[in-house]
Amino acid sequence: MYDPLQRSYDVHPLNARAIQRRLARQGKTMPIALDLAIDPETDITDQNHIGGLATVIQLAEAASVTSRSVVCDLGGGLGGPARCLATLFGCRVHVIDSSLRRCQDASDLNALVRMVHKVSVECGDVRTMTVRGSFDVLWGQSSWIHLDNIADVLRRWLAILSREGRLACEDMFIARQPDDLEHRKLADLKTIWNCRIPTRQTWNDLLEVAGCSIEAFHDLTFLLEPHFNRLLRSGQEPDDTERRGWMLALELARSGLLGYGRWISVRR
């Protein structure tokens, strides 16, 4: 059966071909990782998450990432944050994603900017694949809401986290109780994004159940409205379903229903 999440990423407007075409238009024949991550003209980048490069840097600093760190990006997609982490912090990053197309794109972009030695890519389902390796940071930006059992997944992956390791997560949360109309719009958004969106307290509970203690929480809800406004005015070319998702997210953020947060956690 063709997974709806895979289908949505197969038609997503951010992909290696779109980024390569944008670079060609800009005359960047020998791009570096930051050329993939930054595009103020059209927002056609490898940063398919809220806040772009700035939040990658902020999350890494909050999680104490250094050049000695080994990071595992669970649901890393195109590998955009991974390449930025490797470039700006000097660490090694392993990207795992369930979409074969996204993994192929991530590998192609790694080769394009000559970062294969710092960023590795593996296609696999983090819910069921064999957990192996040793990492200092488990990383997730706008990706863990796609997991159907967040606590179970994190509990499995915590087993390979180093003693001083951290979970670094940024994702959506429900900020208040929706009314009937908002409930329907929220259900529509979750169908489009193929996700579950916990409340902030549920996120806290899931991390605790997984075996984590929360070190810090930062409310980043202020990023949502400008992010989706920018997407709707960008040079990206989404299909009608993706654009409707952006419009719903913008509306629900404006109404105060959708929130966005950053959690830094350690293993108990």
| Average pLDDT over every residue of 243-255 | 98
> Domains in the chain, please, with CATH?
4-170+199-220+261-267 (3.40.50.150)
User: How far apart, in whole angstroms, are the C-alpha atoms of residue 172 and residue 144?
Assistant: 9
The arrangement of strands across the sheet holding 92-97 comes to 119-123, 92-97, 70-74, 135-141, 161-174, 258-267, 212-219
pLDDT per position as a tens digit, 93-147: 999 999 999 999 999 999 999 999 999 999 999 999 999 999 999 999 999 999 9
The two three-digit tokens of residue 196, written as one number: 């579950």
Q: How confident is the model at residue 227 (pLDDT cuts 50, 70, 90)?
A: very high
pLDDT per position as a tens digit, 154-197: 999 999 999 889 999 999 999 999 999 999 999 999 999 999 99
